[in-house]
Amino acid sequence: MTVTLNRGFILWAVGVLQPVASGELLYYMEHVFENAGALPSENDLHSYLVEAANVGQLIRIMREPDLFSLTIQGNSYLSRSQRMSRDRERIFLLADAWNGRKLTSREEQTTESGGVSPPLLQRTTLEGTGANECGPSVPRGRTHWPRYSKQLTKTTGSSSSSRDTFINFLSFNDATQVNLARRASGRAIQPDAVNLALMIGLTPRLISQIIVRPDRHYRSFPIKKRTGGAREIHAPRVFLKTIQRFIVDYIFHVLPQHDAVHSFRNDRSILSNAQCHVGKQWVAGIDVENFFGSITERHINSHLSSIGLDAPSARTLAKLATLNGVLPQGAPTSPILSNSVLYNFDELMSAEAEKQSLVYTRYADDITISGSSIDCIRSLIACATLLLNDMYGLVINDKKTRVLSRRSRQVVTGVVVNDVALPPRDLRRRMRAASYNATKVEGVNVEALNMLRGYLGYFQEFPDLVDNKEFTDFRKNLGNIRARF
């Protein structure tokens, strides 16, 4: 029986799932649209997708299996209501796909490429000025989002070994395909609004609407600070959050971050930051006031332009990453931008610290300087104050500036560093007491148990706590609680 295919419906479904194979598309149509009536065979559907690719509405991004993604022309074929519906469906599926993202290793990517050296846009090892150039690239050893259309099979769950997991630009495999989808062959790929929309698989109009009215895509609420008062959090809603997560994983992951910075990085922590200052005669800490709220759209735009993005792309990304002209605390893009925008400051401070035999590190807004000369440390604090203000308009909170000798308790990002890096003793004792008290109470308070588990994981990061009595008692008590749970 001949089945008449609705072109708009097929293109809509491809746009939701892209990149997608004909079998996955058919499975989706069978199970999501149960009243769709007679459906084509997989072979007929595949032939239809090839035909749509031949007229420019789709691109076949991979063979065996053949995977297809929507082009600008295909997107324009959809009605306005279809485009809005497609964006909504895809965003929610992408939000789920992000939860299954995978950090691929060098070995896995080498296997995927058959041992062939990756193309330039996929390399992380760049030399000279190229090391500071930013653009949509997929280097070895980076985060990928799985194809959630892999879930549309009878064996659910994406395979960690499947090459389907590693689509370079989420919807397309390389820059040439992105250009073809835009009908702009020959131009260098830049993450402007149109290319962003193509790679994520959304309508360019949606990106533009968010840029014009970002306030509609945030919810704001206060959270209490440990030191008193409240901090205002601006959390993006699902549409913008998904777009920002894509930008972080596929574009901002190549932003330069100085080696002295330990915040918001997979291989760094408050412990690695503190360990740099263990056993120093003097340890100084300074705090940047209103850190995220003082990094502006202008700072971000200028920084992105300086490392290789064209003006439209830098402007687009800066708009998508800011609220009311500044970095919002709560957006996925804010941490890495706060690290990278201050790269030149970190470079100058590190060089000056090395000249004076001092150690400089930064963890977000917490700057730490240590060494044997208090005069040199005070001089570097004055230097930091001037540089931050001159370069970025940032201000030091003088009330939080401290310079501590070894005769006092030296604390760096919550870690005591006088002799070895350890959590504060009063914290260790409180957790031991809390765990002991919990063993004496009938039943288990799940919230309290989760809190204790969190501190156990934190304490286990400290190698010098292995034989500490407070820690061993705490771990034993928690084991007893778990046994009753």
pLDDT at 29: 83
Q: What are the angstrom distances between the C-alpha of 243 and each of 23, 151, 251, 366, 399?
A: 28, 21, 11, 29, 38
Position 253 scores a pLDDT of 87
Cα–Cα separations (whole angstroms), residue 405 to 73, 278, 366, 367: 67, 12, 18, 17
Q: In whole angstroms, what is the distance from residue 59 CA to residue 20 CA?
A: 11
Place of tokens 């931050």: 388
DSSP state of 407: T
**Phi/psi zone of residue 428: left (φ > 0), alpha (ψ -120 to 50 degrees), beta?**
alpha
Tell me the three state secondary structure of residue 335: helix
Q: What amino acid occupies position 9?
A: F
| Alpha carbon distances (Å) from 451 to 430, 446, 472 | 12, 9, 17
Angle at 308 between CA 254 and CA 166, to 5 degrees: 35
User: Cβ neighbours of residue 12 under 8 Å, at least 6 residues apart?
Assistant: 78, 82, 85, 86
| Per-residue three-class SS string for 279-321 | CCCEEEEEEECCHHHHCEHHHHHHHHHHCCCCHHHHHHHHHHC
Q: Six-digit token pair at 257? A: 């971050």
Specify the pLDDT at position 5.
Answer: 63
Q: Residue 372 in contact with residue 280, Cβ under 8 Å?
A: yes
Q: What is the pLDDT of residue 158?
A: 39
Q: Can you tell me the distance from the alpha carbon of 427 to that of 357, in angstroms, rounded to the nearest whole number? A: 33
**Residue of 116, 155, 186 lying closest to 27 (CA atoms):** 155
Predicted local distance difference test score (pLDDT) of residue 478: 87
Q: How many CA atoms lie within 13 A of 197 on its CB side?
A: 24
- Structure confidence at residue 104 (pLDDT): 54
71 closest CA partner among 162, 171, 182: 182
Q: Label residue 324 left, alpha or beta by phi (over 0 means left) and psi (-120 to 50 means alpha).
A: left
Q: Give the Å distances, CA to CA, from 348 to 214, 258, 361, 386.
A: 34, 11, 12, 12
Nearby residues of 29 by Cβ (< 8 Å), 6 or more positions away: 13, 36, 39
Phi/psi of residue 310, nearest 5 degrees: -75, 170
Picking from 95, 97, 138, the residue whose alpha carbon sits closest to that of residue 119 is 138
pLDDT score at 132: 43
**pLDDT at residue number 142:** 67
pLDDT tens digits along 399-422: 999 999 999 999 999 999 999 999
Per-residue pLDDT at 226: 72
User: Which residue is listed with tokens 């009215």?
Assistant: 213
Is residue 346 within 8 Å of 334, Cβ to Cβ? no
Tell me the C-alpha to C-alpha distance, in Å, between residue 71 and each of 90, 172, 340: 15, 10, 33
Identity at 143, one-letter amino acid code: T
Cα–Cα distance for residue pair 188/16, rounded to 1 Å: 27
Kindly compute the dihedral angle of the four CA atoms of residues 119, 120, 126, 129, in this order, to the nearest 10 degrees: 170
Residue type, 221: F
Q: In 108-263, which ranges are E strands?
A: 143-144, 218-224, 230-236
Q: Cα separation of 247 and 125, whole Å?
A: 21
Identify the residue whose tokens are 């709220």.
Answer: 293
Which domains are seen in the chain, by residue range?
7-103 (1.10.10), 257-293+327-416 (3.30.70.270), 425-484 (no CATH)
Q: Which residues contact 150 (CB under 8 A, 6 or more apart)?
A: 24, 157, 158, 159, 162, 164, 165
Tens of each residue's pLDDT in the chain, 485 residues: 444 568 888 999 999 999 999 998 988 888 777 666 677 888 999 999 999 999 999 999 998 889 999 999 999 999 999 999 999 999 999 988 888 776 654 334 333 333 332 332 332 333 333 334 455 555 445 677 877 665 554 443 333 334 444 678 889 988 889 988 988 766 678 899 999 999 999 999 999 999 999 999 999 999 887 777 788 999 999 999 999 999 999 999 889 999 999 999 988 999 999 999 999 999 999 999 999 999 999 999 999 999 899 999 999 999 999 999 999 999 999 999 999 999 999 999 999 999 999 999 999 999 999 999 999 999 999 999 999 999 999 999 999 999 999 999 999 999 999 999 999 999 999 999 988 888 888 777 788 888 999 999 999 999 988 888 888 888 888 888 877 76
Q: What are 40's two structure tokens?
A: 């084509």
pLDDT of residue 159: 38
What is the value of pTM for the model shown?
0.86
Between strands 359-363 and 230-236, the pairing is: unpaired
Cα–Cα dist 362/369, whole Å: 9
